[in-house]
């Protein structure tokens, strides 16, 4: 009996030790996502902090870098807000491409590459998403980018309520949306940390007198608002001009009006609470869709998925899908649209012109790959 008890005790201790070891390595893997994303902006960009616009987030996980470049000629100001949803990687990657290539000749460009910086510190384990993906640059260097979560990390904001009552409108949403940056605008200086971050972004737009503001996104191929531009009524004339040019170039895209009764989103609240012209853009990302099959880094980069090929055959998708949807295509759509918006801005108001060189067009990004336009790193 005593021998049996000793054996059981030893087994228990071994299992406990093994559990501790597994927990240790799992914690190391989880905490590796807390490292800030490595970006190598051109020296023309000056770095500020989001807390410069609202001190209420200073020293908190919501604070993050804001990059500003001013041209030699006076003009308008454009904002690229990237990484609102960190599981939509072409958004963040487009921001990085602009930071590492854009030369502003007239006006100013502001780039926020990791808008919900807290979402980049974790991913969705129940989704099976990878923690990141690797892009090869022109010289063969590999750049690693995090693949985060749509929501702020719960270690910074917990618990969320069962029902989220949007502060300024009283609109009722699912409780988890209090951790969704793109449901929290115009934000609140006294709210949750995500609401404070939204308020800081609104303050940036107001204090920098941003004329044209982009919020870059991706959507599931089966989601109706995908490969689309969503425009506030302030932005609709400009968005219509750009949509026609994109379609004329053979790139399918939809133009959607911002719903007036759907609150908390950038394309609505930026326009209602500031003087900017808001634009939200969506590309098709199979790695975040509900119909996807195997979920791994390859899916993030290539968009190749047999399940989506079958869904296309059944007419269940809202984008053209020929077996893949590579990240270079998705970044190319964003860069091309931004280029065209800037080119047409002067026709709305020539005093708001922003001229930027160094950004590749659609065919260049698609044919060369996005990695061709990224700096090798560790510069």
Range of the domain at 355: 46-373
- Give domain status of residue 196, yes or no: yes
- Give domain status of residue 73, yes or no: yes
* Per-residue pLDDT tens over the stretch 239-287: 999 999 999 999 999 999 999 999 999 999 999 999 999 999 999 999 9
- Give domain status of residue 19, yes or no: no
The Cβ-side half-sphere exposure at 353, using a 13 Å CA radius, reads 12
- Give domain status of residue 40, yes or no: no
* Per-residue pLDDT tens over the stretch 184-219: 999 999 999 999 999 999 999 999 999 999 999 999
Say if CB 229 and CB 239 are below 8 A apart.
yes
Q: If we measure between CA atoms, which residue out of 329, 364, 199 comes closest to residue 273?
A: 199
Percent of the chain residues topping a pLDDT of 70: 95
Mode of pairing for the β-strands spanning 73-81 and 212-219 = parallel
* Per-residue pLDDT tens over the stretch 149-194: 999 999 999 999 999 999 999 999 999 999 999 999 999 999 999 9
User: Chain-wide mean pLDDT for the chain?
Assistant: 94
| CATH number where 253 lies | 3.40.630
Domain tally, the chain: 1
Q: What's residue 2's pLDDT?
A: 56
Cα torsion 195, 229, 216, 118: sign: positive
* Per-residue pLDDT tens over the stretch 322-333: 999 999 999 999
- Give domain status of residue 18, yes or no: no
Neighbours of 334 (CB within 10 A): 27
Neighbours of 130 (CB within 10 A): 17
Strands (E), the chain: 46-49, 65-70, 73-81, 103-112, 132-136, 142-146, 163-165, 172-174, 212-219, 228-231, 254-257, 277-284, 355-357
- Give domain status of residue 77, yes or no: yes
SS3 82: coil
Residue 147 has pLDDT above 70, yes or no: yes
Say if CB 137 and CB 372 are below 8 A apart.
yes
Cα(22)–Cα(119) distance, integer angstroms: 24
> Of 33-42, 208-217, 222-231, which range is least confident?
33-42
């Amino acid at each position: 009996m005593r021998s049996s008890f000793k054996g059981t005790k030893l087994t228990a201790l071994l299992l406990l030790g093994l559990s501790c070891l597994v927990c240790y390595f799992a914690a190391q893997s989880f905490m590796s996502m807390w490292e800030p994303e490595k970006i190598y902006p051109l020296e023309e960009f000056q770095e500020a902090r989001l807390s410069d616009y609202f001190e209420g987030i200073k020293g908190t996980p919501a604070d993050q870098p804001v990059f500003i470049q001013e041209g030699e000629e006076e003009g308008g100001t454009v904002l690229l807000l990237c990484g609102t949803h960190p599981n939509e990687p072409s958004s963040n990657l487009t921001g990085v491409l602009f930071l590492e290539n854009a030369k502003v000749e007239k006006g100013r460009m502001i780039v926020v590459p990791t808008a919900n910086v807290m979402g980049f510190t974790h991913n969705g384990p129940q989704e099976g998403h990878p923690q990141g993906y690797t892009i090869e640059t022109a010289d063969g260097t590999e750049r690693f980018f995090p693949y985060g979560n749509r929501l702020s990390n719960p270690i910074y904001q917990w618990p969320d309520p069962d029902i989220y009552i949007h502060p300024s409108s009283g609109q009722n949403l699912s409780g988890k949306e209090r951790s969704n940056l793109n449901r929290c605008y115009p934000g609140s200086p006294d709210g949750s940390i995500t609401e404070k971050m939204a308020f800081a972004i609104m303050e940036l737009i107001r204090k920098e007198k941003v004329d044209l503001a982009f919020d870059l996104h991706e959507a599931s191929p089966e989601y109706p608002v995908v490969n689309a531009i969503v425009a506030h009524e302030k932005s609709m004339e400009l968005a219509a001009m750009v949509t026609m040019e994109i379609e004329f170039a053979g790139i399918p895209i939809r133009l959607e009006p911002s719903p007036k009764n759907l609150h908390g989103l950038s394309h609505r609240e930026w326009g209602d609470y500031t003087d900017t012209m808001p634009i939200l853009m969506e590309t098709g990302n199979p790695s975040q869709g509900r119909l996807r099959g195997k979920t791994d880094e390859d899916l993030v980069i290539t968009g190749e998925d047999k399940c989506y090929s079958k869904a296309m055959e059944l007419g269940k998708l809202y984008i053209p899908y020929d077996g893949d949807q590579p990240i270079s295509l998705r970044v190319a759509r964003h860069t091309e649209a931004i280029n065209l918006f800037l080119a047409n801005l002067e026709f709305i108001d020539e005093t708001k012109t922003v001229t930027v060189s160094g950004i590749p067009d659609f065919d260049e990004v698609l044919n060369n790959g996005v990695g061709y336009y990224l700096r090798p790193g560790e510069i």
